[in-house]
Amino acid sequence: MLLKAFEKGADGVMVIGCLEGDCHYVNGNIRARARVERVYQILDQIGIGPDRIRMYNLSAGEGAKFAAFTNEFVEQIENFGPSPINLARAGQPMEPAQEEEQT
Amino acid sequence: MITGTPKPIDEILEMLEPYDNIILAGCFGCVTVCRVGGDKEVQILASTIRLAREARGKKIDIKEVCLERQCDPEYLEPMRPYVEDYQAVLSIACGAGIQFLAEKFTRTPLLPGINTGFLGVTERQGEWTERCQGCGDCVLHLTGGICPVTRCAKSIFHGPCGGSVQGKCEVDKEVQCGWQLIIDRLVALDQMDNYVKLKPYKGWDSSRDGGPRRILREDMI
């Protein structure tokens, strides 16, 4: 699902899990972090850029913190610019040299 | 089960370089259980390949399928009507499944998406260890249910070698000495007489030494 988001044109993906030790599914958030870490590595290996995905842990009562994290992440992604997928779709595919730079 | 590990994505992308439409075929058998070749892994690998290829301006069309088992002919047949519509099949089943696909669909190149590992067990989610090398002449009744062929790095049959130190094997301090495990188990079972019994030499002719093996069950044909 995380990779699908990039296929559908996302420049970055934020994953929000419960606070560690406070998950309704006991260790669901810990397992989610491991899955996000895998996607991080996949994005790194294929030159999309690992920092386009990030996981945060928040409780349902931390609205202000959620907004702050979102603004921070959006700013980070805006600094990176469009993902290589979106660049390719706009007619600027990744060059081999660019690929090395990304990885 | 038969275990495996994913091939590095760079290796897979290199294999796929000549193609722009492929079938990515998973298997609901062993490789689903060891999380390397099932339906979910098909989806993840297909997305990964599409993203990598599209970023480089070389889009690829991938038909995602997961067969019940790639090692049984009846489950391969559903692919027959469309397999030749694609330039290649990338399979993430074990080596047996991939080869069986290649035998059945002779006009389509078959590519391996995983490295097949060993016959093993699930220690816990995400960890698998080897238990059997399929030597074809099981001695587990004499060795406390622990296989000397698999668990001993040298596959020896006469007890721990000089490389066994405090129950660990010389090949890796994390690896338990198979023969120490056997002796501990035989002591616990009060079956040490099995250890001192003289045994005839093991016949390796039922193992890999005679080339590819075949089982023929007349009663099943």
Quote the pLDDT of residue B29. Answer: 97
Q: What is the distance between the alpha carbons of residues B129 and B198, in angstroms, rounded to a whole number?
A: 30
**What is the ipTM score, two decimals?**
0.84
* Helix (H), strand (E) at residue B144: none
Please give the average per-residue pLDDT across B57-76, as a whole number. 96
pLDDT in tens, B164-182: 999 999 999 999 999 999 9
In this structure, the number of other CB atoms found within 10 A of the CB of residue A39 comes to 24
**Strand ranges in chain B using DSSP code E only, listed in sequence order:** 2-6, 21-27, 61-67, 88-91, 110-112, 114-124, 127-132, 168-169, 172-176
Q: What is the distance between the alpha carbons of residues B186 and B164, in angstroms, rounded to a whole number?
A: 17
Contact A48 B9 (CB under 8 A): no
Closest CA to B96 of B14, B157, B153, B37: B37
pLDDT band at residue A97, thresholds of 50, 70 and 90?
Answer: low
Quote the pLDDT of residue A94. Answer: 79
Residues from chain A that touch B44, judged by Cβ atoms under 8 A, are: 3, 42
Residue B77 has pLDDT above 50, yes or no: yes
In this structure, the number of other CB atoms found within 10 A of the CB of residue A102 comes to 16
Q: What is the distance between the alpha carbons of residues B74 and B26, in angstroms, rounded to a whole number?
A: 15
Inter-CA distances, B102 with B24, B49, B72, B185, Å: 14, 22, 13, 44
Contact B51 A85 (CB under 8 A): yes
Tell me, yes or no, if A82 comes closer than 8 A to chain B by beta carbon. no
Closest CA to B195 of B204, B184, B211, B210: B184
Distance of CA A17 to the CA centre of its chain: 13
Q: What is the distance between the alpha carbons of residues B135 and B129, in angstroms, rounded to a whole number?
A: 17
Chain A: closest CA distance from residue B175 (Å): 26
CA atoms within 13 A on the CB side of B156: 15
* Helix (H), strand (E) at residue A60: none
Beta bridge partners of A16: A56
Q: Looking at residue B162, what DSSP letter applies?
A: T
Domains of chain B: 2-118 (3.40.50.2300), 135-204 (no CATH)
Q: What is the distance between the alpha carbons of residues B199 and A54, in angstroms, rounded to a whole number?
A: 60
Residue written as token pair 């007489």: B193
For residues A47 and A84, is the Cβ–Cβ distance under 8 A? yes
Residue A98 has pLDDT above 70, yes or no: no
Contact A88 B56 (CB under 8 A): yes
Q: What is the distance between the alpha carbons of residues B54 and A11, in angstroms, rounded to a whole number?
A: 14
Quote the pLDDT of residue A103. Answer: 47
Non-local (6+) Cβ contacts of B17 within 8 A are: none
> Does residue B136 come out as left (phi exceeding 0), alpha (psi in the -120 to 50 range) or beta?
left
Please give the average per-residue pLDDT across B57-84, as a whole number. 96
Q: What is the distance between the alpha carbons of residues B205 and B215, in angstroms, rounded to a whole number?
A: 14
Domain housing A49:
2-102
Across the interface, of B47, B56, B57, the residue whose CB is closest to A3 is B47
Of all residues in chain B, the percent with pLDDT exceeding 90 is: 90
pLDDT in tens, B121-178: 999 989 999 999 999 999 999 999 999 999 999 999 989 999 999 999 999 999 999 9
- Tally of domains within chain A: 1
Residue B212 has pLDDT above 50, yes or no: yes
Residue B23 has pLDDT above 80, yes or no: yes
pLDDT band at residue A96, thresholds of 50, 70 and 90?
Answer: low
Across the interface, of A6, A42, A94, the residue whose CB is closest to B56 is A94
> Does residue A102 come out as left (phi exceeding 0), alpha (psi in the -120 to 50 range) or beta?
alpha
For residues B155 and B201, is the Cβ–Cβ distance under 8 A? no
Look up residue A21 and give its two tokens. Answer: 């030790």
Tell me, yes or no, if A48 comes closer than 8 A to chain B by beta carbon. yes
Q: b or e along B195-205 (b: 16 or more beta carbons within 10 Å of the residue's beta carbon)?
A: beeeeeebeee
Residues from chain B that touch A100, judged by Cβ atoms under 8 A, are: none
* A65 or A25, greater pLDDT: A65
